[in-house]
Amino acid sequence: MRHLQPMWRLTLACVVCACGSSADGSVTTQPPPISPDTFALRALAAARGRRIGAAADHGYHLQGSDGNAFRSVLAREFNLLTPENDMKFDHLHPAQGTFNYVHADSLVAFAEANNMKVRGHTLVWHQQLPGWLTAGTWTARDVSLIMQDHITQVVNHYKGHVVSWDVVNEALNDDGRMRASFWFNSLGRSYVETAFTAAHLADPDAILFYNDYNIEGINAKSDSVYALVQALKLRGAGIGGVGFQAHFQVNGVPPTLQQNLERFAALGLKVEITELDVRVPLPSTPQSLRDQAADYAKVISACLAVANCDAVVMWGFTDKESWVPSVFSGWGDALPFDASYGKKPAYWSIYNALK
């Protein structure tokens, strides 16, 4: 299922808009992409020299049961799109030597039709690896070549259409030591530098990020990430930024967030909030939603205060499509739009912080 021509070269109406057939067999489409509201979040962020984004997938989100509503809000409010799953290894590389770009291409087409940029997520991660890879019998050289080929193929495919990549995702444990993963167990810690070097060779213009969670404040893990990325930069591995996932529970934004962003920025790196959500105990209450709104404002304000923090991306935008309830039992309502796409207090706190 390797596609030599990207999906965004296809007729845009069939990628971005809901398509169907009339009685005479002709294709009918929805109107063209929405013009963003002057007072939407994306316009306010752009006025501050920032991008505001959300994660989405093709089938589950853009083509879901309420795809029209989802696409409408996504295009109106955001100017940066991260594929939630559609660019992960198992989705793009389901069999050895076989790449399937169909769904990821449709996300890029949607973004480009709506004047949004795309963050690629993610090239090298310890999860969502295909069975052909993890069950194989490989030498270290085999694994290195497979990883580099995957990176080269994917980054080349999206060259000029993906502005930045999460090259390596979650390589460290919470104690700051390297995570025992398929990649580390096969190659040792050198796999991180090898991955960045391969991505930089494939697209020297893309900004390459190390991305992780529980590194938003100053702690043992963020100290280790600091040492890791500092070494990568000194060795000229092509790293250009650090992504701070920011999956918080309510009242859990670390007080050292801005200070931490500043120290990474001082290395000459971009810093971005890449997967923001703020979960609350269910059922949510007016007070918990007010506290959630205050947490969103803290994150946006911290980014605005740091010159090298140029983007905040939420892991979705509507509670209808959030990953949180399936992973954190008893928690949810983590995003700025409710399940009916209504604007919650968190939306207005983001709005006011940007404005």
Contact assessment for residue 259 and residue 303, using Cβ atoms and an 8 Å cutoff: no
DSSP secondary structure letter of residue 250? T
The one catalytic residue in 77, 84, 170, 321 is 170
Given 112, 193, 216, 275, which residue is catalytic? 275
Burial of 104 (0-12, 13-18, 19+ CB in 10 A): buried
Q: Is 84 a catalytic residue?
A: no
Residue 227: count of CB within 10 angstroms of its CB: 11
- Tell me the C-alpha distance between 301 and 353, whole Å: 6
DSSP string, 146-209: HHHHHHHHHHHHTTTT-SEEEEEE--B-TTSSBP--HHHHHHTTHHHHHHHHHHHHH-TTSEEE
155: Cβ contacts below 8 Å, ≥ 6 apart: 120, 123, 162, 165, 198, 199, 202, 203, 206
Phi, then psi, of 140 in degrees rounded to 5? -60, -40
* Cα–Cα–Cα angle for 218, 221, 225, rounded to 5 degrees: 95
Cα–Cα distance for residue pair 76/199, rounded to 1 Å: 31
Strand pairing partners for 247?
Answer: 277
What are the beta bridge partners of residue 56?
83
To which H or E segment does residue 313 belong?
strand 309-314
Catalytic site includes residue 193 = no
* Selection from 348, 336, 212 nearest residue 280 by Cα: 336
- Other C-beta atoms lying within 10 Å of the C-beta of residue 295: 22
Q: Which active-site residues does the annotation give?
A: 170, 275
